Chains A and B, each alone.
Chain A
Amino acid sequence: MLHLDEKPILEVKDVSKLYAENKGCQQVSFELYAGEVLGIVGESGSGKSTLLKLLSGQLASDNGEVLYIDREANLHSLFEMPISDQRKLLRTEWGVVHQHPSDGLRMNISAGGNIGERLMAIGERHYGDIREESIEWMASVELAADRVDDKPSQFSGGMQQRLQIAKNLVTKPRLVFMDEPTGGLDVSVQAKFLDLLRRLVIELKVAVIFVTHDLGVARLLADRLLVMRHSQVVEQGLTDQILDDPQHAYTQLLVSSIVR
């Protein structure tokens, strides 16, 4: 959903991180508006995940600038802010959903504890409130409320991924990063998961930047697409425009390779 009258919440300017020549990502620039869903697509090794890690503060960049405007309209420069502020941003206004749930969840802590962690981290001190909110979020991501005390290790892959979503959304972030969120899921679970994700994104007006190599996922979820190849963005634009009328040779190859 685009709100063109507003200022972008995230401004990425000439961001680069190279491991070797054309390995990593370089000279990436784009803007992201509130509530907008941006997909990063491209083949393995094209730099998608590197870019996501740079943007979410998990990796230091070689150069460039990432500007973020928070809820109170304060401007932050991601690479220049103190690490404490960066981490605070990551557990309040931002969220990160990992490809492997074990990277994003505490597997030996109950589902409720996982969801409640971010609340406790921002100073919530009332057990009853934390638990109530955890149970509400279990329902929002279509997990049975009576499994709130079960550990994620007893959940299926799809359930773990939904729990990760709940864990991130509980503090009502404005921007969520997702790395191959449907990577480990089978097709039917993937479809349900995407439905849920689309509903939550629209309901909560949360902006999302996600990485995928699956153009089907990209078409379902993304408002806008960034196509990467050999560490560079080769094409960007509205999802329909890119998928129906690809301009760059690589994008044309990518689109034509979808199995129909």
Chain B
Amino acid sequence: MSGTYNYGYLDESTKRMIRRTILKAIAIPGYQVPFGGREMPMPYGWGTGGIQLTATLISPEDTLKVIDQGADDTTNAVSIRQFFCKVANAKTTEVTADATIIQTRHRIPETPLTEDQILVYQVPIPEPMRFIEPSEVETKTMHALEEYGVMRVKLYEDIARFGQIATSYDYPVIVNDRYLTNPSPIPKFDNPKMHMNPALQLFGAGREKRIHAIPPYTKVESLDFDDHPFEIQQWDESCAICGCQDSFLDEVVIDEEGNRTFICSDTDYCRLNLEKQGKESVDFVAFQKQQSGAE
């Protein structure tokens, strides 16, 4: 660890401030609590909100897992993991079950979480009604008075234009029967996992300087219409690497001819499946070679 930084990069008084904010956020599930967001050594949009949460929570006993779109080996995940290796001397893992803190961009791991784990989300826009109601004063009033009819206008527009609720990520939810909340841009496939999850779920928005939380075992309900109920994505295909049919699949290009196939978005889950089948794990580059060689 470098001698120039306090443990976990943030100074202790900042951590105290963020911990107080977290406590308030847990006390009011789904409510966006403002906090004094700090400048982090990376640009907004790279997960500065989530990083501040993780930096506040992390201790030498913790094991950190960082994922970006479900994968441990993508740019955002790699750079954040390296950041915490450097500033917090963090133990890191790619195994979901081994992690105590999981920082995520855009996915919830497929492996069910436990009470001992904290899931930290990176949030770009915490306000679900922002695209319909640009005024912060107005959206705050709407939250205070629980006036959420306008959110269904967005879903109405989806059905009117596409014949179905086309919103497929950042799908709005009602937390604990009260606050309308953005789950950060996770696919709606993951929305049911937030409901009654044993793990603490924390959401950090760095640019907007807001933290919200879903405490363990909290009711999370996705908005819908009576005649257009909430549905998650489904695939006819199964994962080309591990063959599983129950995980969220990414469509990937496998050769220079533009041929495509589907693989698990959660790399750890994919590896676990291969292990169960007694097969060796395959990284994506090797997989690509294997596929294009086969043709």
Contacts and interface: CB of A to CB of B under 8 A. Distances in A.
A113 interface: yes
A148 B161 CA distance: 11
A149 interface: yes
A149 B227 contact: no
Contacts of B150: 117, 120-121
Interface stretch (A124-132, A204-212, A213-221): A124-132
A116 B145 contact: no
Interface string B140-174: 01000101011011001101110000000000000
A222 B145 CA distance: 36
B3 to A, nearest CB: 53
A112 interface: yes
A37 to B, nearest CB: 29
Interface residues of A, number: 23
Given A117-B149, A121-B150, A128 B156 contact: no
A145 interface: no
Contacts of A127: 156, 159, 225-228
B156 A120 contact: yes
B132 interface: yes
A130 B156 contact: yes
Contacts of B226: 125-127
Contact of B153 (A87, A106, A122, A149): A106
A113 B156 contact: yes
A84 B149 contact: no
A87 B145 contact: yes
Interface string A115-158: 01110111101111011000000000000000011000000000
Interface-central residue, A112, A113, A128, by most chain B CB under 10 Å: A113
Contacts of B228: 127
A57 to B, nearest CB: 13
A75 interface: no
A89 interface: no
Interface in B107-158: 132, 141, 145, 147, 149-150, 152-153, 156-157
A109 B145 contact: no
A190 interface: no
A99 interface: no
A125 B225 contact: yes
Nearest to B228: A127
A83 B145 contact: yes
A149 B147 CA distance: 24
Given A83-B141, A83-B145, A112-B156, 20 more contacts: A87-B147, A106-B153, A109-B132, A113-B157, A116-B153, A116-B156, A117-B149, A117-B150, A120-B153, A122-B149, A123-B149, A125-B152, A126-B225, A127-B159, A127-B225, A127-B228, A128-B227, A130-B156, A148-B160, A149-B160
5 contacts: A87-B147, A110-B157, A112-B160, A121-B149, A127-B227
